[in-house]
A and B are shown apart, each in its own frame.
Chain A
């Protein structure tokens, strides 16, 4: 990754234009051509420096729902329960964390009512309580990593 790649990652984390020639417009402040910008984004995706390039959809604003939920699972049951939980297609991410509440996952559904019913089914399947922690307010989501 050279200086231009760094500049591309920094600039394009902030946003990308919606116009007929967006790459041309985004390339100008970088001092490179439209073709070079496209080629570099392609390489950064190929070598997995970037995991994605495109619109970040916030499905809640279009009628869907997300929630963060946590569980406290005894160590000797952990892998079995992780497998049970991950089988639900509504689980988008799941992390083991260093805490008494040691399993943290994000549930996403196109219809908000499915959140409650999915949580119920997870509790029935695993036999453990699910702590539902939906966001009540969002103060900032930047996800900006200067490089």
Chain B
């Protein structure tokens, strides 16, 4: 029924003690100084070169997805987000997942397991918009894109944030 997670890429990256310290030193943000990597290097007692090399390697390995700003999407006017969930044939999931993932209004797109009979959906796409009409329009575009491969879908709007602390590795 559900496909096994064989497509998941398992990285061989084993963080060293210094990598771990580097994660802890930067997980809450990058220093706002002209030479941020030098500042971290001084904190950790190594050279700037060493920090740049390790950061670059973690980025190449995907441990750092990217270094970037995270806007508060509510403040930018994106007040609506709908978690759209789809039941598509398992043998089509890669093709369809990539198609959904490349839409500019989709911020996350994942293949997840079904839990039959309660939960038949195997493809998740988070859709953002500034108005209900915009979100509805986006969902309609996905319906058309999936066409006969859509065997059923649902949209779950968030009602309330119950907790939002983010993940922090222990210091």
Contacts and interface: CB of A to CB of B under 8 A. Distances in A.
B46 interface: no
Given A13-B71, A55-B26, A95 B158 contact: yes
A111 to B, nearest CB: 11
Nearest to A23: B34
B36 A22 contact: yes
Contacts of B30: 16, 53-55
A55 B75 CA distance: 21
Q: Say what secondary structure dominates the interface of chain A.
A: mixed
B171 interface: no
A48 B75 contact: yes
Contacts of A123: none
Contacts of A53: 29-30, 32, 68-70
Interface string A1-18: 000000011001111101
Interface residues of B, number: 83
B113 A18 contact: no
Contacts of B83: 97, 104
Nearest to B57: A18
A63 interface: yes
A118 to B, nearest CB: 13
A63 B14 contact: yes
Which of A56, A85, A92: most chain B Cβ within 10 A? A56
Given A19-B52, A141-B108, A143-B108, A136 B8 contact: yes
A124 interface: no
Contact of A96 (B8, B37, B162, B170): B162
B26 A54 contact: yes
Interface stretch (B90-98, B136-144, B145-153): B90-98
B34 A21 contact: yes
Nearest to A39: B32
Interface string B1-24: 011110110010111000100010
Interface string B61-81: 111111111111101111000
Interface of A: 8-9, 12-16, 18-24, 34-35, 38, 41-42, 44-45, 48-59, 61-64, 66, 68, 70, 72, 82, 85-86, 91-99, 101, 103-105, 108, 110, 131-145, 147
